[in-house]
Amino acid sequence: MTTKRTILMSALLCLLTLTTKAQYAEYEIKAAYIFNFAKFIEWPETETTPSDSIYLCIYQKDPFGVILEKTMVGRTANGKSWSIKRINSLKEVTKCHILVIPDISQHNVTKLLKEIGNKPILTIGDEIPNFCNLGGIVNFTPQMSKCQFEMNNDVACGNRIRINPKLLQLAKIISNKEDEF
C-alpha cells in the first residue's frame, strides 16, 4: 500500500512541478489542487456531513471525467478518504464538503451560492468570473495569471470553514469588505 502510495504521490508531485510546462492536462492539475486544498482546510463537525471521509461533489456538468477518480480514489487527505459525487440538484448539496462548480451562468452561480448560504461547504469555482465576489470561497483563475486561484476567506469563516493561512498566502485574496466600502 505504502509503496503504491509513494509512487502515486511522487507521480503527482512530478505532475505538479511540471504543470507550467503544460505537459499535463489542465484538469489533472486542477484535480491535484483540489486534493491538496483538502490538506489545508478544516471543516466543522456537523450532523449532515460525515467526518470519516471527504465528500467531493461536482455540480451538473463534469469537466474532469475520470481524472477525479484517478486522483482521489484510494488516497486520503488528513486521514480522510475521498468520496466523489456528481449532483444535479441543490438538494443533494447538504452532504458535500467540497462543491466544484463548473463554468455556469452568473445567475445560476448567485442562485447556487444563495442556496448554499452558510453551510460548511467549500465552494470551488472553475474559472467563474467574480466567483469569490459573489460569495464563492475558492475560484481557479485562468492560466498564466499570477496566482492559480483566488480565495474569499470571509465567506469561509462565515461558513465555519478554516483555511490554513499557508494556503491563503498562495491565493489571491478576495474580500467582501472591500465591496462594502
Cα→Cα distances 65→73, 85, 113, 140, 143, Å = 13, 12, 24, 18, 20
Measured distance CA(141)–CA(126) in Å, rounded? 8
Site for another protein contains 13 (CB under 8 A): yes
Query: Is there binding between residue 76 and another protein (CB under 8 A)?
Result: yes
Interior/surface letters 122-157, b for 16+ CB within 10 angstroms, e for the rest:
bbbbbbbeebbbbbbbbbbbeeeeeebbbbbbbbbe
51 is a site residue for another protein (CB under 8 A): no
- 74: DSSP letter: T
| Using rule CB under 8 A, residue 78 touches another protein | yes
Contact stretch for another protein (CB under 8 A) within 41-49, 54-62, 85-93, 166-174: 166-174
Q: Which of 30, 33, 116, 152 binds another protein (CB under 8 A)?
A: 33
Minimum distance from CB of 138 to another protein (Å)? 12
Which of 159, 149, 152 shows the shortest CA–CA distance to 173? 152
Nearer to another protein, 9 or 73 (CB): 9
Near another protein by CB under 8 A: residue from 7, 73, 157, 170: 170
> Where along the sequence are the contacts to another protein (CB under 8 A)?
5-6, 9-10, 13, 16-17, 19-20, 33, 36, 39-40, 76-79, 148, 164, 166-167, 169-170
